[in-house]
Structure 1
């Protein structure tokens, strides 16, 4: 049952964090690893490049042959071979000779520098050089990029395309990552229907289905969503099934005390309710429990409140299950308008940040479009009174909630 004795947000978070997070790992093909969290250190298995190679299209030569080269004293080298990328030369370069070479091709034995195509003049089978070429000029040395045995990436790194390139170059075709949590989402409400323009009396579109799917995916987890009618036995059966199959369960609706609000009762029947009622606005009936050793986040049915509750109580938990520890920092801003606050509650107000001023979105509770009219939350703690225009307040940008900003 929902209690009028609301607990502070900080206490609720501590109770949620007391439920142990299990980190699961899996081995996957490298091509599937973008945005995944690395679950092992990457030790380079091969030198990169694996041989000295040309960094330019030009001519491999012996640098010492060009020491005296100048416009008034040009040096002429005989071209004895040509190497394309992926090919090698059977010639060992000797004094007075050069080999035409493509970018990325292995340096022929005896050579130690490359002169660019633009810096020479062709004369039949010879090249004319009019300035000194430095030792190892335009040569990528063996192991210069990655050295066999070095640790190039560490566990906990969120992988992006550049990381995947380095891992592949290091000799890996598969990689160990933290498993994406499988999140079961149960949306309750006899009144909910799929999107339509022909609503029957008393029915409303199930928008939470789409919002929660996106929020779970934003947390890099995998959502599994179903709609459940407002019946205690049905809810208990669905919750039991989801707590068996998935790593986390999220419900919406059924957390207050009105007839038909069955989620908290079902959770209590199957497991334990640790939180029910938090001093937060919106969304005070939020709940949290454990069923089959799986965390169960009981969010409000109102989409506006459910989104706030997810951001405050659920998002970080799911990220931590993947070894992602992201701190959501509040930043100080100037109020562009008066901001009303409910005493004794942590007020989280949708707002619009414009340059250096923030403006609260003034709508009634439950107005879903406030989410798209805003770009940040204003946070007002339990002990802070109303904030006047021009005073300082703390905000959290929506963009900072994302794993990838």
Structure 2
């Protein structure tokens, strides 16, 4: 498994960096460190609606002995012409508004009588109370996001807050997804005897997009070597990876294997269940990964071999899904010499995981309700209930 994983990872180089508006960066990875050109906050501002004061002027104020001051100014958020606060006065101030020079505290409006010309303070305020100091969140020049960071809503909000309108990011890997087989029919069409609805193409294209790539789906490539190559060749110049499913085993009509085996793609058997027949290499210089045709084998193979490679190519510092440990809710068996990935249902509340469905590579129904893969090492043939196993969450 490690050997084949390294082969697939080695096919894909890092995608080039592009500069995109923030609105187009969701889910992408930073191509360079993001440093803050300004501090956050960029000025001292009020954390509350209330009154900016000199703390000495309201010292000792209480419900029983309020302190009354004249209100000299109103300071709404966005005001730029600040008037210094004179001793013995207060400025009415709104949340986010700049604290005027001379003030060192803000008294919340709830601790006053909310006066507009004169205000009575019902509590004191220590120096710095309810004042957000400039740079207390982010200092100017600090690295706020490292290269490789995946950009989610919070990261994009931070980039906007420090004034960046666009970012250098790695573009999404472009993947051509091919589904082969003369027996395949488009969902919604009428099935003839011996035909099945095509599902792997939709599943793998969705998996590519979920991993952060762009997917072009080319469906219903027939089991003919010449037609397969004719369908593939015109699209090679625009993609970073060709991903196929089916046609890689030892049967008589393995079109993917027949078309690519003598042209730079190596087909092999990997010590994994499901998904033993695999292929990887370059066809006319373009990376190709070939997955088995059974749906579960195809999906697990994508998770184990292709997804981490795609995310690493897209610049993500953490290309792998997080791994957890869980307690088996029931005993399991596994073939010696092959790493097995069982579909599982993991309950975070109890820390337990139970297998879902059988080990068959055609059992798409159990895959659809699973929320994780249970990983059984190569040397293990059985595990009793209560054993600790590795779990890979799928969502």
Please give the alpha-carbon distance, in whole angstroms, between the structure 1 residues aligned to 2:177 and 2:380. Answer: 35
Report the Cα offset of residue 70 of structure 1.
4.8
**Residue in structure 2 matched with residue 185 of structure 1 by the alignment:** 177
- Give the paired residue count: 389
Say whether the 8 Å CA contact 1:379–1:395 is kept in structure 2.
Answer: yes
Task: For residue 375 of structure 2, give the secondary structure of its aligned residue in structure 1.
Answer: strand
Please say if 1:114 is aligned against 2:101.
no
Query: Which of 210, 227, 230 lines up with 1:234 in the alignment?
Result: 227
Compute the displacement of 1:373 (Å). Answer: 4.4
Superposed counterparts of 1:3-402, under 5 Å: 9-19=1-11, 21-70=13-62, 74-89=66-81, 91-121=83-113, 125-196=117-188, 198-227=190-219, 228-269=221-262, 271-324=263-316, 325-327=318-320, 329=323, 331=325, 333-334=327-328, 336-339=330-333, 341-353=334-346, 355=350, 356=352, 358-359=354-355, 361-362=357-358, 364-385=360-381, 387=382, 389-390=384-385, 392=387, 394-399=389-394
Deviation at 1:196, TM superposition (A): 2.5
What SS does structure 2 have at the residue aligned with 1:361?
A: coil
Q: Distance in 1 between matches of 2:63 and 2:370?
A: 67
Deviation at 1:395, TM superposition (A): 4.0
Choose 66-75 or 238-247, whichever is displaced more. 66-75
Determine helix, strand or coil for the equivalent of 1:286. Answer: strand
1:363 shift after superposition:
6.3
1:97-135 CA distance string (max 9 Å, x none): 212111112223332222221222366732223443222
CA 1:99–1:285: 2 relative to 1, 3 Å:
same
State whether residues 337 and 359 of structure 1, in contact with CA within 8 Å, keep that contact through their aligned partners in structure 2: no
* Inter-CA distance 379–76: structure 2 relative to 1 (3 Å threshold): closer
Structure 2 unaligned residues grouped into runs of 5+: none
Superposed CA RMSD: 2.6
Local SS of the residue matching 1:121:
coil
TM-score of the two chains, using structure 1 as the length reference:
0.87
TM-score (norm 2): 0.89
Structure 1 unaligned spans of 5+: 1-8
Q: State the alpha-carbon separation in 2 of the partners of residues 90 and 282 from structure 1.
A: 69
The 1:72/1:376 distance shift into structure 2, 3 A limit, reads closer
CA 1:167 to 1:288, structure 2 compared with 1: closer, same or farther past 3 Å?
A: same
Q: In structure 2, what is the equivalent of residue 6 of structure 1?
A: none
Counterpart contact for 1:88–1:105, Cα < 8 Å: no
